[in-house]
Amino acid sequence: MATKPLTTPGSSSTPLGSPRIGWPERWTRLHRPGRLPGVGHRALLRRATLGDLDFGDALRAWFLRLTRRSQRASAGPAHPNDFADPFVLHVDGTYYAYATQAGDNDVQVMRSSDLETWEHLGNALRRLPGWAAAGRTWSPVVLPRGEAYVLFYVVREPKSDRQAISVATASSPEGPFEDTSTGPIVFQLDRGGSIDPSPFVDEDGTAYLLWKSDDNAIQHPSRLWIQALSDDGLTLAGSPTELLAHDRTWERPLVEAPSMVRVGRRYYLFYSANWWESARYSVGYAVGRTPTGPFRKVTRARPWFRSGVVAGGPGGQEFFTDADGALHMAYHGWTPDSVGYGGGGARSLRIARVGFVGGRPWVRRGPNTARALLPEILPGDVATKPPA
């Protein structure tokens, strides 16, 4: 079964409001000192009705006031147990979620019809390949290809004691997946290993695999990569392309977990950064015009998605569309007062609705969200035009 390209329906880069001035300039005019101090939605609409403010600008200003607030919901995660590095696949009205090893389950898999009630199905992987060692089986993702389902996941290569990416197949999304490989599909030993695979299918049907080189394991800045896949998804095609590297203060000590979404003519490269077992773990993003870049980081000074009142250290994000075509983000997060396994915490599955306004992603308020922030507008960062 062919997978659909991961794009959002009805998206557009056309700005609301007057086309005569750009989005950053309108935002600056709305929010310069003394212009709109403490203005609520009624005052904004009143000013728009009187002709003092464009309706589009009023709507945008009110929206940004809301999205800068913490997502203060009282409900907990979609699934309470440890379910790290989640990936959700929608197949014919059923959702399948996959996650990093827990106990004897090398590849956890769950099933749901509504994204709220989940049934744990156990281990989706029949056995590890002979060249891999048990333990440290991470970050499974599944790519539908024809009548088959292709599983990419991380295993330990015992000779080097580094992580590598392997591939397995099944005829059903719940498995069991069979790995008959004689070696990894991706293994950058000179870069400390390779982890965090993530599939992306473009509108023309071309499938790609993204991943992280584990450079931080050998005291170097970690990097994110992409490479095209063969039609059956079982081998790589062409050469790998480096997408971005850890180079911002808030990202220390690493970047990882790449995932990609296309909206209109833009490609959004999301990634997790900072230390995974801390409340500082967060999500950032970059924008490009092709899947292979170049990509421009938007979250240069701070993350896009970070700890809030219902989730600490959110990350490991992956994106999927539901039965209605709406975009969602699956991610893991700690309970805020129990961050880290040493404190009895668990990285549980959380799901948030994601949209785009003015070329920028936002997280809809909901029971499983952490805290989303719109990054500050930087010089030359015109959000309503394709990136240069």
Q: What angle do CA 281, 286, 289 make, to 5 degrees?
A: 160
Amino acid at 152: F
> Quick one: CA dihedral 312, 318, 321, 323, positive or negative?
negative
DSSP 186: B
pTM, rounded to two decimals: 0.79
- Cβ-proximal residues to 228 (8 Å cutoff; 6+ apart), any chain: 206, 207, 208, 236, 237, 238
The number of beta carbons lying within 10 Å of the beta carbon of residue 298 is 24
**Region of residue 85 (phi > 0: left; psi between -120 and 50: alpha; otherwise: beta):** left
Residue spans per domain, the chain: 87-372
SS3 93: coil
| C-alpha–C-alpha distance, residues 360 and 170, integer Å | 37
Amino acid at 4: K
Closest CA to 43 of 53, 31, 28: 53
Radius of gyration of the chain (CA): 21
> Torsions phi, psi of 21, nearest 5?
-125, 150
Closest CA to 198 of 268, 128, 277, 303: 268
| C-alpha–C-alpha distance, residues 382 and 174, integer Å | 43
Instruction: Report the pLDDT value the prediction gives residue 59, as an integer from 0 to 100.
Output: 57
Q: Are strands 148-157 and 162-170 parallel, antiparallel or unpaired?
A: antiparallel
| C-alpha–C-alpha distance, residues 99 and 65, integer Å | 35
Strand partners, 259: 270
Q: Residue 339 corresponds to which tokens in the numbers above?
A: 């961050």
SS3 338: coil
Answer yes or no: are the C-beta atoms of 356 and 11 closer than 8 Å: yes
Amino acid at 35: R
Instruction: Report the pLDDT value the prediction gives residue 49, as an integer from 0 to 100.
Output: 54
Residues shown for the chain: 388
| C-alpha–C-alpha distance, residues 317 and 333, integer Å | 10
Instruction: Report the pLDDT value the prediction gives residue 23, as an integer from 0 to 100.
Output: 39
> Torsions phi, psi of 272, nearest 5?
-95, 155
| C-alpha–C-alpha distance, residues 114 and 366, integer Å | 15
Instruction: Report the pLDDT value the prediction gives residue 57, as an integer from 0 to 100.
Output: 57
| C-alpha–C-alpha distance, residues 153 and 324, integer Å | 28
The per-residue DSSP string of 7-53 comes to B-TT---PPSS-TTS-HHHHHHHHHSTTTSTT--HHHHHHHHHTTSS
Instruction: Report the pLDDT value the prediction gives residue 54, as an integer from 0 to 100.
Output: 58
Answer yes or no: are the C-beta atoms of 29 and 18 closer than 8 Å: no
Answer yes or no: are the C-beta atoms of 178 and 151 closer than 8 Å: no
In the CATH scheme, what architecture does the domain 87-372 have? 5 Propeller (2.115)
Answer yes or no: are the C-beta atoms of 245 and 225 closer than 8 Å: no
| C-alpha–C-alpha distance, residues 225 and 211, integer Å | 5
Instruction: Report the pLDDT value the prediction gives residue 115, as an integer from 0 to 100.
Output: 94
The number of beta carbons lying within 10 Å of the beta carbon of residue 376 is 11
Query: Residue 258, Cα to own-chain centre: how many angstroms?
Result: 7
Cis before 176? omega within 30? yes
Residues of the chain with pLDDT under 70: 1-76, 365-388
